[in-house]
Structure 1
């Protein structure tokens, strides 16, 4: 179930799939979800801007969406571990944002569509 969205600056040279695979291993360790349930989308941005544009720092945003019910402590631990993991993958000056959000169990729908 965990949905992982990785947005990053254009041209950022880092092993984003290696990072995602490690996150897929980390999520079950911290919050108890199954590795096979993790799904990640990587979305390189067409452009980015930090502040007034004076810096060329890269930007990486990671959002992990979980079904509601995990404790604040577990979500915070996941945020900290993913942030630390990201530090090891991005080797250029960068600004990071890692957020763990909750999906409402009553309004969230996930469908495995087998195609036609």
Structure 2
């Protein structure tokens, strides 16, 4: 925890590793966790249909799943900080209009389980 998913349009110039490194630091600070607990996966979107379907649109959607119990203010701060970071890390190579969005969802701490395996 937290579990972070980032869906992004294939047409974007996106420093994913740099973004994840900075995102993990700001997430740990915002929700009081450890950087080592953050896990981010990136999913490239081959095709999107936004607005009128013009190819001049691109998107990034970041979804957080964090343990329940954080205040609405804490989650809003995480969303706003993430949007600001995205604006620093994402550019369009084709002059696209880039749509950025963030969602912070609660994991039910009564039923969420995890384990770390070492090989």
Residue 106 (structure 1) aligned to one of 84, 87, 110: 110
Counterpart in 2 of 1:76? 76
Q: Which residues of structure 1 form unaligned runs of 5+? A: none
Structure 1 segments of 4+ aligned residues over 2 angstroms from their partners = 111-115
Counterpart in 2 of 1:11? 11
Cα RMSD (Å) of the superposition?
Answer: 1.4
- Match of 1:49, SS state, is coil
After TM superposition, the structure 1 = structure 2 runs for residues 1-116 of structure 1, keeping only pairs within 5 Å, are: 1-92=1-92, 93-114=97-118
TM, length-normalised to structure 2: 0.89
Q: Which residues of structure 2 form unaligned runs of 5+? A: none
Alpha-carbon offset, residue 17 of structure 1: 1.3
Q: Which moved more, 1:73-82 or 1:42-51?
A: 42-51
Deviation per residue, 1:69-104 (Å, 9 max, x gap): 111100000100000110111122300111111101
Greater per-residue strand proportion: 2
